[in-house]
Amino acid sequence: MAKFVVSYVVLSLFCIFQQSNAASASYNVIKFGAKPDGKTDSTQPFLKAWSAACSSASPSTISVPKGRYLLKATVFRGPCKNKITVQIDGTLVAPADYRALGNSGYWILFIKVNRVSVFGGTLDAKGAGFWACRKSGQNCPVGARSITFNWANDILISGLTSINSQSMHLVINSCNNVLVRNVRVIAPDQSPNTDGIHVQTSTGVTITGSTLQTGDDCISIGPSTRNMLMSSIKCGPGHGISIGSLGKEFNEGGVENITLTNSIFSGSDNGVRIKSWARPSNGFVRNVVFQNLIMKNVKNPVIIDQNYCPNNQGCPGQVINYSISIS
């Protein structure tokens, strides 16, 4: 067991989400023209189903039956009139040609939505071609995150599996009240920048019961993140669970009230890590608890790195100025 405390105050906010049984409107993507063959572009049928659900005055469910559905870069945009449940019983697949997702940085994006729940399903981003492009040094796209929530509130993601993302698997950015539970992320240990879950500029995020096997951080926590609870996480392979990198900008929101408990690291490069650039910054890390952690074959169980500079390129050479309080 390992216990590591950054400051001594722990604030945990639990958000309890329940799947509603009162939904009075249901939208099956097949009825909008989606084909479960993994070959026919189903992007527009999915967007039409979303538009119908989003404009519904009553709670609604978008259902994705068993099968494989080809999706290109897709934006599910709000705000919507009522809560929406997305029930995925099949697999969403990205185009085989990684360049088809372009330079937008996303594959599936939910933006400015509230009260959205995503249950089940698999995302297959087919990232191997993109990783090979990066390894070869060619001129590659920026890489697409598999599923992103931007400026969203009261979100539930449950039972989702994400495999072989080009870049980060699940991104939570500028959100409030998010519960991620029983999620599984899978990517080879040498796949670049395939963070399992990345959280930044968000408040009230809970991640529980999830298995994260990646080529980068299992969970990464960026600036302006507060009141975050992680529990019952299985991490490895990967780079561990990281706060940071931080301090790259002078004006940067702090990270506080972060708890990780009852989790297992197995075969990961690192366990828990806090990393910041050696640059002047008004950012900070405080009120962090790492508790009841089991580490098996972990190279670096605990790291605080205030001279973070990946690949020793563009290192600032400045005096350490990032506030990390430890007790």
Q: Among all residues, which ones are annotated catalytic?
A: 239
SS3 category, 173: strand
Q: In whole angstroms, what is the distance from residue 17 CA to residue 24 CA?
A: 19
CA distance 234 to 310: 25
Strand-pair category, 161-163 with 60-64: unpaired
Which burial class, exposed, middle or buried, applies to 313 when counting CB atoms under 10 A from its CB (0-12, 13-18, 19+)?
exposed
What SS3 state is found at 126?
coil
By CB neighbour count within 10 A (0-12 exposed, 13-18 middle, 19+ buried), where does 18 fall? exposed
Strand partners, 173: 150, 200
